[in-house]
Amino acid sequence: MNGAPSFLELRGITKRFPGVLALNGVDFEVRAGEVHALLGENGAGKSTLIKTIAGVYRTDAGELFVDGRPARVRNPHDAQALGIGTIFQEFTLAPDMTVAENIFLGREPLRIRALSIVDRKEVVRRTRDVLASLDLQVDPEATVRDLGVAQQQMVEIAKALSLDARLIIMDEPTATLTAHEIDRLFESIRSLRARGVAVVYVSHRLDEVKTICDRATILRDGAFVATVTVESTSIDAMIRLMVGRDLKDKFPKVVIEPGEEVLRVEHLTRTGVLHDVSFSVRRGEIVGIAGLVGSKRTETVRAVFGADPVDGGRIYLHGKPVKIRTPADAIDHGIALVPEDRKRQGIFAVLSVRENIVLSALGQFSRGGFLDLRRERRKAQEFVASMRVATPDLEKRVLDLSGGNQQKVVIAKWLNTHAEVFLFDEPTRGIDVGGKIEVYRLMGELLSRGAAIVMISSELPEILGLSDRILVMRDGRICGEFTRAEATEEDILNCALRGAPAA
Amino acid sequence: MHLRTLNRALVVTAGIAILGCGRGTQPANEATPAAGTSAPAAAPAAEPVTEYARPAKPSKQYRIGISIPHLANPHYVGQAYGYIDEAQQLGAQVTLLEAGGYEHLDKQISQVEDLIASKVDAIILAAISGPGTVAVVEQAAAAGIPVINVNVMTDSDKVVTRIRSDDDVIGRMQADFMGERLKNGGNVVMLRGAPGTSWAEIRGNAFRKQLADKYPSVKVLGEQYSQSTPADGLRLMEDFLQTYPQISGVYNGADSTAVGAAQAVKSAGKAGSIVMTATDFQIDTEKFIRDGVISASVLQQPVTMGRWGVRAAVSYLEKKSVPPVMFTGLMTATKDNLDKLDLTTVRAPAGWTPPVR
Amino acid sequence: MPAIIVALAIVFGSINPNFWSVTNLANVSRQVSILALLSLGQTFAILSGGIDLSVGSLLALVSVVCAQVMREFGLVEGIAAGVTAGGVAGLVSGLIIARARVPAFIATLGMLVAARGAALTLSGGLPIAGLPREFLVLGAGYIGPFPIPTVVAVVAFLLAHVILSRTRFGRYVYAMGSNEEAAVLSGINVAKYKMLVYVASGLFAGVAGVILTARVISGQPTLGEVQELYSIAAVVIGGGRISGGVGGIGTTLMGVLVLGILGNGLNLVQVSSYIQNIVIGAIIVGAVYVDLARERRQ
């Protein structure tokens, strides 16, 4: 790839927001047909940079060249005209329209030009072509809402391609995909590369970067650090460049002698969803739950937490049966749930850090029926300090914090309730490397204080690195259980895919 | 004639009370006896006046605040013309406020309060609600501002004078017309107009009473109140036509409802076979009379009402005595005399618009 | 926002100095107190992520109930019945929203229509007169230089402020408005608190209805048309977000004052009520636009 011409080059890009210098003289160069990773911690400027390329932001300084010629991108339309397509984390598809309608949205081939009557057959035909070129088995007339997340993402890629994109930016494309779907995505990326389309790959998952990317550019604190060849750079080296320091422990595992059983779930059943799920967790232990998307892991912990109804089964805490019908019941019994989707289920975005932290335990902060703001502030300050939540003050809206810090606030909220059992659903999703480490450290602290943890994760390295025992689920059933010592990625995947460990 | 009117007014009031109890709802004007008996002076001064000349133009420019329910029909537009033109003749400055409809009682109260705060010299009030405007009238009186009721009355004795048509006569005139036409008996429905107003009450009750006294073979099948709009009239008449297949006559307390009711009757193909009477004379009413859908309308003289209101205010402020009750005149319009009517006291001149900025 | 209020006052005051007279200020505060009370209830509803479209009609229903009970039984009984009627209506709305999970917009829209119908049915469409003269004091009387309705509104404001900022109920209202799903998952009994929100809104409307009835010294089934929209406008103009979670008693107060001063000032300057409506409409959109623009810049 060394001789390939440069497709896109940015020089000296600077972008300011009120109070923040997001990009400081950044250089970035992407060659035709290469897969180029963009790495950096949260807040390093990756998101700002790609939004600049996509025309969402205007720069304060710097130049942009396409095919060696100077170009201006003032809005997304300009970017599109230059052949730059973007797939953001939040999809831009219209959920109630079909795949074909979405792909050709805004440029539908017309049958009768004067009356703007759309040539439906043509739309479907062209869509089929585009989908075929990506080897994508999706019905052009399917409604987007009915597609799985992975397929929706494929449709986004198809849409970009149909616009004759020569560069496609993918922002955290694998965040919601299972291993199987990630493989398919990588195949698509390889075929893009073969066609000479460049890909900018923004991700926290360094192992993926190692698999699929040719070069990587690292940003730190809004500045350009380096561009490296992926093949000759180790993950540790990449981390060091991103973080500026050595991170010894990727998965700081605290090994504790597990204590007595805290939570036991027996024969948990919900018609059509969960079938006879049983497991137990002891004090000081982490039980990881692995599985593909759709294996109903989230539904399992929600059932334990009382967020969903159950049709059968029993829950025991410290050996005694308990009735949990609502989250309030679960909280009373010392169970906490850190949900999968922070934005939609975990944080109160427009409320302050303090208000978020104290919310589930307001009883502690009431005096005579009235809330004691001073006590709230003190407690919130304690947590912010001990958990190292990066926020200028307690009254800042949680919306304005980074993903990792938002997650810490959510965890703090539960720590306030003196929970004994923590159910984590994808605890480090969308969090940068540094943030992940902090969350792992927090989990370790919880363990040493005697908590029991159940952790759902789709990142196999994370599950393997942290869990004491691993459960694998498929279609609402537990199909395998491994101890830390005996588990391998293959075993887990096999179980998840086929329902039994490899012979 | 006037004494008989007085008597009838007393009887009508008693009738209101009895009817009210019988229907299980509360009569609106229970607190107010007929206009004539609210004046504290001796009997001769209580006689309603039917002529009221313009006083001499005063040397001072008085500021008069006027509050009316709305300007959505020619009746009030005519009244407004009366106020404005007369004020010009008498060198007075006028502030005309309208509340946007009979539903907006609290708006009218706020407007009158604002007038009081602006320290106008006198207030002319066409009250949306008899009892509802009592407080604000007393507030004006306490601030030394005289209040003159025009067209719709307030239930308070602090009002300086009351100027309106003899609503009693309006009701009776419609009853007489209806009774003569339906000599062999008939079924009548009533669109009474805005609930809680003195005119809707008095006119409607007078109509019923006259029918009951003189034309017992004519029966009232049903009655409804509504806002004074053609849409309400249309809706009510359509419902009536569905409910009572044999309607021979329709009474209208106001003419906006008549316009809508006429439309309904015409659409049902019953124009000419139903006797419809109305009050007032907007353009569409005139048209329907010409077309024979509306049989007759009792015309008030809103322009005169407006003029007398301003005259009374100025006279009072010039420390002259003002008669406590004044009745402006009435005419009947039918197909036969349409072109012979003198409408200068009924409508504002064509093309005139009220200056509510 | 406070700057705008002062600016408006100065402008109107200079065009018509009567604006500053004690009588006029007393009038404004009295006229605005009804809207203020409705806006308080509306604040709770909107903050919690919902809305209460029925408050205007509740004024009518409360007025009719209050007047009829007062005629039969007496002054105090009438007032109590009126306020209770508001609370009961709010409870019904709350149940439909919290238990039957009907969206607040629809549920309170239904109540808007039903309550108006109930008011007209109970009263036969006619005003209910014959209320004791002492009742007028509640609507037209003074405590010192302050009109009684104003005093009631101020007390209600303070009460609402305390509840919203210092009690668990208030905190949960904000939480529900910010993220209802997260609220459920945080152990908040969302159904119960939603119901309480609408009961509160109904009670505020009840108090407002009783005062308004006192002001017109009669039960009027036609009261309150469109008032619910002004109460929403007050919340939004002040800076409350229509989707919930942002706003408070202070911001609502600003909105109420802006609307009150505008209405009164434009009257004194003799602008017709039609034009006033256009102005108010423009201000509602403008205020929200300014708010959103500030948000986007952040």
Distance CA A498, CA A162 (A): 36
Q: What is the mean pLDDT of chain A?
A: 85
| One domain for residues B156 and B191 | no
Flag whether B4 is in a domain.
Answer: no
Asked whether the beta carbons of residue C185 and residue A371 sit closer than 8 angstroms, the reply is no
CA-based nearest residue to B257, from B106, B72, B127, B100: B72
Instruction: Give the 3-state secondary structure of residue B136.
Output: helix
Interface probe for C, chosen from A301, A324, A370, A374 (most Cβ of C below 10 Å), is: A370
Residues on B contacting C at a C-beta cutoff of 8 Å: 23-31, 95, 97-100, 102-107, 109-111, 113-114, 116-119, 129-135, 139, 143, 155, 195-196, 225, 356-357
Asked whether the beta carbons of residue A328 and residue C183 sit closer than 8 angstroms, the reply is no
How much is the pLDDT for A503?
40
| One domain for residues B308 and B262 | no
CA distance readout (Å), B24 to B14, B266, C124: 16, 35, 9
| One domain for residues B183 and B288 | yes
Asked whether the beta carbons of residue B25 and residue C123 sit closer than 8 angstroms, the reply is yes
Q: Taking residues A396-412, report their average pLDDT.
A: 86
Q: Taking residues B216-224, report their average pLDDT.
A: 92
Domain that holds residue A34: 6-243
Contact status, residue A120 vs residue A141, Cβ threshold 8 Å: no
| One domain for residues A373 and A483 | no
| Chain C neighbors of B99, CB-CB under 8 A | 273
| Chain C neighbors of A355, CB-CB under 8 A | 171, 174-175
Contact status, residue B198 vs residue B167, Cβ threshold 8 Å: yes
List, in sequence order, every beta strand (DSSP E) within A351-474: 366-367, 370-371, 421-425, 452-456, 469-474
At B63-85, the pLDDT tens digits run 999 999 988 888 899 999 999 99
| Beta partners for residue A29, in sequence order | A9
Interface probe for A, chosen from C162, C168, C186, C292 (most Cβ of A below 10 Å), is: C186
Please check the confidence at residue A244 and state whether its pLDDT lies above 60.
Answer: yes
Give C50 or C3, the one with higher predicted confidence.
C50
Tokens standing for residue B222: 């049903």
| One domain for residues A162 and A174 | yes
CA-based nearest residue to A253, from A455, A73, A390: A455
Distance CA C284, CA C277 (A): 11
Flag whether A158 is in a domain.
Answer: yes
Name residue, tokens 């309550």.
Answer: C115
| One domain for residues A367 and A319 | no
| One domain for residues A390 and A468 | no
Instruction: Give the 3-state secondary structure of residue C242.
Output: coil
How much is the pLDDT for A266?
93
Distance CA A335, CA A303 (A): 12
Please give the span between the terminal C-alpha atoms of chain B, in angstroms, as a whole number: 43
- Cβ pairs B/C, distance under 8 A: 115
Give C231 or C19, the one with higher predicted confidence.
C231
A 10 A CB-CB count for C130 gives 16
C154 contact partners, CB below 8 Å, separation of at least 6: none
List Cβ<8 Å contacts ≥24 apart for A376-379: A379/A416
Please check the confidence at residue B313 and state whether its pLDDT lies above 60.
Answer: yes
| One domain for residues A394 and A383 | yes
| One domain for residues B274 and B307 | no
Strands B218-225 and C142-143, bridge-based pairing: unpaired
How much is the pLDDT for B18?
35
How much is the pLDDT for A498?
64
- Provide the percentage of residues in chain A whose pLDDT is more than 90: 28
| One domain for residues B134 and B59 | yes
Show which of A243, A275, A303 is a domain's final residue.
A243
- pLDDT bucket at A499, cuts 50 / 70 / 90: low
**CATH number for the domain that contains residue B95:** 3.40.50.2300
Flag whether B104 is in a domain.
Answer: yes
C213 Cβ under 8 Å from any chain B Cβ: no
A346 Cβ under 8 Å from any chain C Cβ: yes
CA distance readout (Å), A488 to A256, A460, B122, B299, C69: 21, 9, 96, 100, 78
- pLDDT bucket at C5, cuts 50 / 70 / 90: confident
Window 230-269 of C: residues touching B by CB (8 A cutoff) are: 263-264, 267-268
Highest mean pLDDT among A184-188, B254-258, C196-200: C196-200
- Which chains form contacts with chain C, at 3 or more CB pairs under 8 Å? A, B
A 10 A CB-CB count for A207 gives 11
For chains A and B, having 3+ Cβ pairs within 8 Å is answered: no
A99 contact partners, CB below 8 Å, separation of at least 6: A127, A131, A138, A139, A140, A141, A142, A144, A147, A155, A158
| Chain C neighbors of B106, CB-CB under 8 A | 34, 212, 215-216, 223
| Chain B neighbors of C225, CB-CB under 8 A | 103-104
Please check the confidence at residue B9 and state whether its pLDDT lies above 70.
Answer: no
Q: Taking residues C115-122, report their average pLDDT.
A: 92
Instruction: Give the 3-state secondary structure of residue B161.
Output: strand
Strands A320-322 and A312-317, bridge-based pairing: antiparallel
How much is the pLDDT for C195?
96
- Cβ pairs A/C, distance under 8 A: 74
Flag whether B203 is in a domain.
Answer: yes
Domain that holds residue B216: 167-299
Amino acid at B283: I
| One domain for residues B119 and B159 | yes
A344 Cβ under 8 Å from any chain C Cβ: yes
Amino acid at C192: K
| Total count of domains within chain B | 2
CA distance readout (Å), B326 to A229, B19, B149, C72: 103, 27, 10, 36
Cα maximum dimension of chain C:
60
CA-based nearest residue to A458, from A479, A491, A428, A486: A428
How much is the pLDDT for C164?
92
Distance CA A198, CA A210 (A): 17
Interface probe for A, chosen from C167, C173, C179 (most Cβ of A below 10 Å), is: C179
Distance CA A49, CA A58 (A): 10
Distance CA B35, CA B201 (A): 13
| Chain C neighbors of B197, CB-CB under 8 A | none
Contact status, residue A432 vs residue A41, Cβ threshold 8 Å: yes
Q: Taking residues B301-330, report their average pLDDT.
A: 93
| Beta partners for residue B125, in sequence order | B67, B149
Give B250 or A4, the one with higher predicted confidence.
B250
What DSSP element (H or E) covers C19? none
- pLDDT bucket at A245, cuts 50 / 70 / 90: low
C187 Cβ under 8 Å from any chain A Cβ: yes
**Interaxial angle between packed helices C249-268 and C2-15, expressed in degrees from 0 to 180 and rounded to the nearest 10:** 10
Positive/negative CA dihedral, B145, B149, B153, B159: positive
| Total count of domains within chain A | 3
Distance CA A484, CA A480 (A): 13
Please check the confidence at residue A489 and state whether its pLDDT lies above 80.
Answer: no
| One domain for residues A97 and A217 | yes
Please check the confidence at residue A18 and state whether its pLDDT lies above 90.
Answer: no
Flag whether B207 is in a domain.
Answer: yes
| One domain for residues B253 and B225 | yes
Window 150-179 of C: residues touching A by CB (8 A cutoff) are: 162, 166-168, 171, 174-175, 178-179
Please check the confidence at residue B36 and state whether its pLDDT lies above 50.
Answer: no
Asked whether the beta carbons of residue B106 and residue C273 sit closer than 8 angstroms, the reply is no
Flag whether B25 is in a domain.
Answer: no
Please check the confidence at residue A442 and state whether its pLDDT lies above 50.
Answer: yes
Please check the confidence at residue A149 and state whether its pLDDT lies above 50.
Answer: yes
CA-based nearest residue to B94, from B76, B104, B105, B82: B82
Picking from A252-261, A393-402, B177-186, which range would have the lowest pLDDT averaged per residue? A252-261
C35 Cβ under 8 Å from any chain B Cβ: no
Instruction: Give the 3-state secondary structure of residue C192.
Output: helix
Flag whether B7 is in a domain.
Answer: no
Superfamily the domain C2-297 falls into = ABC transporter involved in vitamin B12 uptake, BtuC (1.10.3470.10)
Instruction: Give the 3-state secondary structure of residue B245.
Output: coil
How much is the pLDDT for C95?
96
- pLDDT bucket at A497, cuts 50 / 70 / 90: low
Output DSSP code: residue B193: E
| One domain for residues A410 and A318 | no
Flag whether B336 is in a domain.
Answer: no
A 10 A CB-CB count for C215 gives 28
- pLDDT bucket at C45, cuts 50 / 70 / 90: very high
Strand order in the sheet with B186-193: B218-225, B186-193, B249-252, B275-279, B296-299, B331-334
Distance CA A441, CA B86 (A): 89
| One domain for residues B157 and B306 | yes
**CATH number for the domain that contains residue A231:** 3.40.50.300
How much is the pLDDT for C243?
85
At A75-111, the pLDDT tens digits run 888 888 888 988 887 777 888 888 888 888 877 777 7
How much is the pLDDT for B30?
32
| One domain for residues A212 and A352 | no
| One domain for residues B134 and B283 | no
At B325-357, the pLDDT tens digits run 999 989 999 999 888 888 888 888 888 888 764
How much is the pLDDT for A356?
93
- pLDDT bucket at A42, cuts 50 / 70 / 90: low
Annotated domain spans of chain C: 2-297
What DSSP element (H or E) covers C267? helix C249-268
- This model of the complex carries an ipTM of 0.80
At B173-213, the pLDDT tens digits run 999 999 999 988 899 999 999 877 888 989 999 999 999 99
| Beta partners for residue A198, in sequence order | A167
Picking from B156-170, C21-35, C203-217, which range would have the lowest pLDDT averaged per residue? C21-35
Amino acid at A184: R
Q: What is the mean pLDDT of chain B?
A: 84
| Chain B neighbors of C15, CB-CB under 8 A | none
Instruction: Give the 3-state secondary structure of residue A37.
Output: strand
| One domain for residues A261 and A155 | no
Contact status, residue A413 vs residue A419, Cβ threshold 8 Å: no
How much is the pLDDT for A329?
92
Nearest to C182 among A326, A346, A369 (CB): A346
Tokens standing for residue A499: 């329902």
Tokens standing for residue B192: 């009474």
| One domain for residues A368 and A308 | no
Using CB atoms within 10 A of its CB, is residue A2 exposed (0-12), middle (13-18) or buried (19+)? exposed
Please check the confidence at residue C97 and state whether its pLDDT lies above 90.
Answer: yes
One-letter-per-residue 3-state SS of chain B: CHHHHHHHHHHHHHHHHHHHHHHCCCCCCCCCCCHHHHCCCCHHHHCCECCCCCCCCCCCCCEEEEEECCCCCHHHHHHHHHHHHHHHHCCCEEEEEECCCCCCHHHHHHHHHHHHHCCCCEEEECCCCCCCCHHHHHHHHHCCCCEEEECCCCCCCCCCEEEEECHHHHHHHHHHHHHHHCCCCEEEEEEEECCCCHHHHHHHHHHHHHHHHHCCCEEEEEEEECCCCHHHHHHHHHHHHHHCCCCCEEEECCHHHHHHHHHHHHHCCCCCCCEEEEECCCHHHHHHHHCCCCCEEEECCHHHHHHHHHHHHHHHHCCCCCCCEEEECCEEEECCCHHHCCCCCCCCCCCCCCCCC
Asked whether the beta carbons of residue C245 and residue A328 sit closer than 8 angstroms, the reply is no
How much is the pLDDT for A327?
93
Q: Put residue B117 in one of left, alpha, beta given phi > 0 → left and psi -120 to 50 → alpha.
A: alpha
Window 314-343 of A: residues touching C by CB (8 A cutoff) are: 326-328, 330-331, 337, 339
Tokens standing for residue C242: 């229509």
How much is the pLDDT for B265?
93
Contact status, residue A391 vs residue A384, Cβ threshold 8 Å: yes
| One domain for residues B79 and B194 | no
Tokens standing for residue A110: 């017309």
Asked whether the beta carbons of residue A307 and residue C185 sit closer than 8 angstroms, the reply is yes
- pLDDT bucket at A265, cuts 50 / 70 / 90: very high
Window 2-21 of C: residues touching B by CB (8 A cutoff) are: 16, 18, 21
Show which of A400, A418, A436 is a domain's final residue.
A418
| Chain B neighbors of C30, CB-CB under 8 A | 113
| One domain for residues A267 and A143 | no
- Provide the percentage of residues in chain B whose pLDDT is more than 90: 51
**Interaxial angle between packed helices C249-268 and C148-166, expressed in degrees from 0 to 180 and rounded to the nearest 10:** 150
Q: What is this structure's pTM?
A: 0.73
